[in-house]
Chains A and B, each alone.
Chain A
Amino acid sequence: MPKLYYILFLLIASFHLQAQPDLNKERLAEFKILTEQRVNDLQEYITQIGNKSLPIEQRQIAIDLAVDLFEKDYEVNGKRRSPYIQVSRRNGMVEAIPVRAYFNNLLGVKFDKVEITYYDAAAVSDFEKGTDGNYHATATYFQQFKGFDNSGKMIYGSRDRKDIRVTGKSMAVYKNLGKEDLKIFFGDVTVRETIPIKGY
C-alpha cells in the first residue's frame, strides 16, 4: 500500500513538472520584450519615488506599482522569504533590504533632493527553463544615484550595476482559458558593481 502511494506521488510530481509549458523561441522572445518593458517601468518608478518635487500621491502609486512587479515570496533552502533589493552604502558596504522597505526608505530619503537616472540601456538575458520547471532570466540595469543638500550641492553620488533575478511561472489564470503562458515576476536585486562618482 505505501508503495502505491509512492508511485502515485511520483506520478503527480512528474505531471506537475510536465504541466509547465515548453515555450518556443518566438514566445520566449515576447516575454523577453515584456521583461525589458517592466525593467524600464521599474526604473521609472524608482526615479519618481525618489523625486521629492513630485506629488506624494504619484510617488505612493509608484511604490505600489513597483512592489507589484516582485514575487510576494519564494523558497530558499526549504523556507519562504521575501525578495530583497541590495543597496550600496557610502562606507562601501552593500546592504539587502526587503522590497517594500527599500521603496519606503527611498520615499523618505534624507537628502533634500535626489536624482536617480539610468546611464545605459537595461539588458535581459534569454529565458531558460530551470529544474524547477519555471523559466529564468537575469535583467541588468545601470543606475546613477545623486543626493543633494538644500543648497543644491551634491553630497553623495554612485553608479551601480544591478542584476534582477527574473522568473517566468506558469499561471493558472491563462491555463483556464486554454492558454499555457508565463507570468513574469522579479526576485532579488543584487548590486554587481559600484563605481563611486569622483569626490563622493
Chain B
Amino acid sequence: MRRSSLLVLLILIASSTIAQTFHAILIADTKDPVLGASCERDLAEMSARITDIAQKINYQYHEVICSNEQFGNAGLSKALSEINCSPEDIVFFYYTGHGLNTLERSSSFPLLYLKDNNDTELESIHLQLKAKKPKFCLTLGDCCNNLYSDTRSLRPVPPLFKGIGVTDDATIIKKLFLETEGDIIISSAGRGEKATAHPNLGSFYTYSWMEALTNAESNNQAITWETFLSDAENRLQVALKEFPDTIKHHSHWSVGYKKAPSIDPSTIKPVVSYDEINKFLNFLANERIPFTERNSIRVHKQPIYFSPAATVDIYINSPEKPVERQPVDQFLKRIISTAKLIDQFNFVEKMSELSEDGKYRHLTLQEVR
C-alpha cells in the first residue's frame, strides 16, 4: 500500500515536471552577409533572456535553435515538429532576419525570408503553435514588413546603453508568463515598414523589447502585456529618434487573452500607466519636437498626471540612492529646456507613490544622458 502510494506520488511529480515546459524556437539568419552579425547577437541575447525567464518561473526549458545551415524550410519544419505541448506549457517563437510583405496579402504580419523560401507567414507559424494548445503562445518576428523584397536596413547609430541591471525578483516575469493564458503575436515593423538593426549591437526592436522587459522586472509593481509592449514600442522610438521619419518603423501586436495578468485590487489605480509616463517624459525630452509643442503638452498633462506638490527623485546608479529631488514643475520644465542633453528616462514604478485620486505624488526615475 505504502509502495503504491509512493509510486503514485512519483508519477504525479514526474507528470507535473513534464507538464511545465517552456519551449523556445529561435530562428536567426546568422549567415546573411548584411545582417548575420546582428542576428548572431540577437540570438545569443534572446536565448540567455528566455533561459533566465524559464528558470525564474520554474519551468523546464526546451530550446530549438535554427540558424546557420538549419536556417531554411527544412530546419523550420523540423523545429515546429519538435514541439509537443501539455496544457500548462508555454511556447515562444522568435525570428530575426529579413522579412517582407506583399500587396496581395491582407495580413499586417510579415513573411519570413528563409534561405530557400520567402513565403512562410509569421502568422501561420503562430497559428500552428497555437494549435498545439499551450497555456500561452508568444510569437515575435523582428524583421522587415515592407511591401517589396528589399533588404533590411543596418543603421550606423548604436542603440543607447541604459544601465538597468537584471534583477532576481521574478514577480513581473511570473505575471507575464505564468498568469497569462492565450496568445500574442508581435511584429517589429508595421505593414509596409522596414525594420532596423545595428551590425554589432543587434536588432533595434529586439534590443528595445529586452530592455523594456529588464526595466519592467526591476522597476514595476504591476504589468500587462499591453503596457509592456507599449513600453517596448516607446523605447524603439527613442532608439530611432535620430533617424528620418521615412525609415522609422513601429511594432504592432495582436493579443488573444483567455486570462490576463492579475492586478492587486487593493492598490490605487494610477490615472496613467507606467508606459505612458515613460512616453510622456521621453516626448518632453525629444528636441526634434519644437519647444512650444512640448511645453504646451507639459502644461496640459502635468495637472492630470501629478499632484500639485509632487516630487521627483533622480538616480544615477541605484533607485534607492537618488542624487537629487526636484519639485515636479521644476523637473518637467528642466527636461523640456535641456532635451538635447537627455537620451532617455527609466521610470521606477515600484518606488513611486500615488495620491488617493490616482495621480502621482512622487516619482523615482533614472535620467540617461
* B341 nearest CB neighbor, chain A only: A40
A58 x B291 contact (CB < 8 A): yes
Q: How far is the CA of A197 from the CA of B211 in the complex (A)?
A: 47
Contact with B along A146-176 (1 / 0, CB 8 A): 0000000000000000000000000101100
B341 x A61 contact (CB < 8 A): no
Given contacts A34-B324, A37-B341, A44-B337, contact A54 B291 (CB under 8 A): yes
In the assembled complex, how far is the CB of residue A47 from the closest CB belonging to chain B, in whole angstroms? 10
Quick one: which of A30, A61, A184 contacts B316, CB cutoff 8 A? A30
Q: Which residues of B contact A41 (CB under 8 A)?
A: 334, 337-338, 341
B337 x A57 contact (CB < 8 A): no
Q: Which residues of B contact A65 (CB under 8 A)?
A: 330, 333-334, 337
Given contacts A30-B323, A174-B325, A184-B324, contact A44 B341 (CB under 8 A): yes
Q: Which residues of A contact B369 (CB under 8 A)?
A: 37
Question: Taking the complex as formed, is B317 at the interface, i.e. its CB lies under 8 A from any CB of chain A?
Answer: yes
A68 x B330 contact (CB < 8 A): yes
Q: How far is the CA of A27 from the CA of B321 in the complex (A)?
A: 9
Question: Taking the complex as formed, is B5 at the interface, i.e. its CB lies under 8 A from any CB of chain A?
Answer: no
Q: How far is the CA of A30 from the CA of B330 in the complex (A)?
A: 21
Question: Taking the complex as formed, is A181 at the interface, i.e. its CB lies under 8 A from any CB of chain B?
Answer: yes
Q: How far is the CA of A58 from the CA of B333 in the complex (A)?
A: 9
Question: Taking the complex as formed, is A140 at the interface, i.e. its CB lies under 8 A from any CB of chain B?
Answer: no
Given contacts A64-B333, A174-B325, A183-B324, contact A30 B317 (CB under 8 A): yes
Contact with A along B267-294 (1 / 0, CB 8 A): 0000000000000000000000001100
Q: Which residues of A contact B340 (CB under 8 A)?
A: 44
Q: Which residues of B contact A102 (CB under 8 A)?
A: none
Question: Taking the complex as formed, is B322 at the interface, i.e. its CB lies under 8 A from any CB of chain A?
Answer: yes
Question: Taking the complex as formed, is B295 at the interface, i.e. its CB lies under 8 A from any CB of chain A?
Answer: yes
Q: Which residues of A contact B295 (CB under 8 A)?
A: 57-58, 61
Q: What band does the interface of chain A fall in when counting residues whose beta carbon is under 8 Å from B?
A: 20 to 34
A55 x B337 contact (CB < 8 A): no
Q: How far is the CA of A54 from the CA of B366 in the complex (A)?
A: 29
A61 x B322 contact (CB < 8 A): no
Question: Taking the complex as formed, is A114 at the interface, i.e. its CB lies under 8 A from any CB of chain B?
Answer: no
Quick one: which of A44, A55, A171, A181 contacts B338, CB cutoff 8 A? A44
Total number of B residues with any Cβ neighbor in A under 8 Å: 20
Question: Taking the complex as formed, is A111 at the interface, i.e. its CB lies under 8 A from any CB of chain B?
Answer: no
Q: Which residues of B contact A184 (CB under 8 A)?
A: 323-324
Chain B stretch 302-355: residues in CB contact (< 8 A) with chain A = 316-317, 321-325, 330, 333-334, 336-338, 340-341
B341 x A173 contact (CB < 8 A): no
Given contacts A44-B340, A55-B292, contact A30 B324 (CB under 8 A): no
Quick one: which of B322, B337, B367 contacts A181, CB cutoff 8 A? B322
A173 x B324 contact (CB < 8 A): no
B292 x A45 contact (CB < 8 A): no
Question: Taking the complex as formed, is A72 at the interface, i.e. its CB lies under 8 A from any CB of chain B?
Answer: no
Q: Which residues of A contact B316 (CB under 8 A)?
A: 30, 33-34
Question: Taking the complex as formed, is A106 at the interface, i.e. its CB lies under 8 A from any CB of chain B?
Answer: no
Q: Which residues of B contact A54 (CB under 8 A)?
A: 291
Q: Which residues of A contact B341 (CB under 8 A)?
A: 37, 40-41, 44
Chain A stretch 51-69: residues in CB contact (< 8 A) with chain B = 54-55, 57-58, 61-62, 64-65, 68
Q: Which residues of A contact B324 (CB under 8 A)?
A: 34, 183-184
Q: Which residues of B contact A30 (CB under 8 A)?
A: 316-317, 321, 323
Q: Which residues of A contact B336 (CB under 8 A)?
A: 61
Contact with A along B246-286 (1 / 0, CB 8 A): 00000000000000000000000000000000000000000
Quick one: which of A37, A45, A174 contacts B337, CB cutoff 8 A? A45
B321 x A179 contact (CB < 8 A): yes
Q: Which residues of A contact B330 (CB under 8 A)?
A: 65, 68
Q: How far is the CA of A41 from the CA of B334 in the complex (A)?
A: 8
Question: Taking the complex as formed, is A88 at the interface, i.e. its CB lies under 8 A from any CB of chain B?
Answer: no
In the assembled complex, how far is the CB of residue A103 from the closest CB belonging to chain B, in whole angstroms? 13
Question: Taking the complex as formed, is A31 at the interface, i.e. its CB lies under 8 A from any CB of chain B?
Answer: yes
Given contacts A58-B295, A61-B333, A181-B323, 19 further A-B contacts (CB under 8 A): A37-B341, A37-B369, A40-B338, A41-B341, A44-B338, A44-B340, A44-B341, A45-B337, A55-B292, A58-B337, A61-B336, A62-B337, A64-B333, A65-B330, A65-B333, A65-B337, A68-B330, A171-B325, A174-B325
> Can you list 20 pairs linking A and B with CB atoms under 8 Å apart?
A27-B321, A31-B323, A37-B341, A40-B338, A40-B341, A44-B338, A44-B341, A48-B337, A55-B291, A57-B295, A58-B295, A58-B337, A61-B295, A61-B337, A64-B333, A65-B330, A173-B325, A181-B321, A181-B323, A183-B325
B residues touching A (Cβ–Cβ < 8 Å)? 291-292, 295, 316-317, 321-325, 330, 333-334, 336-338, 340-341, 367, 369
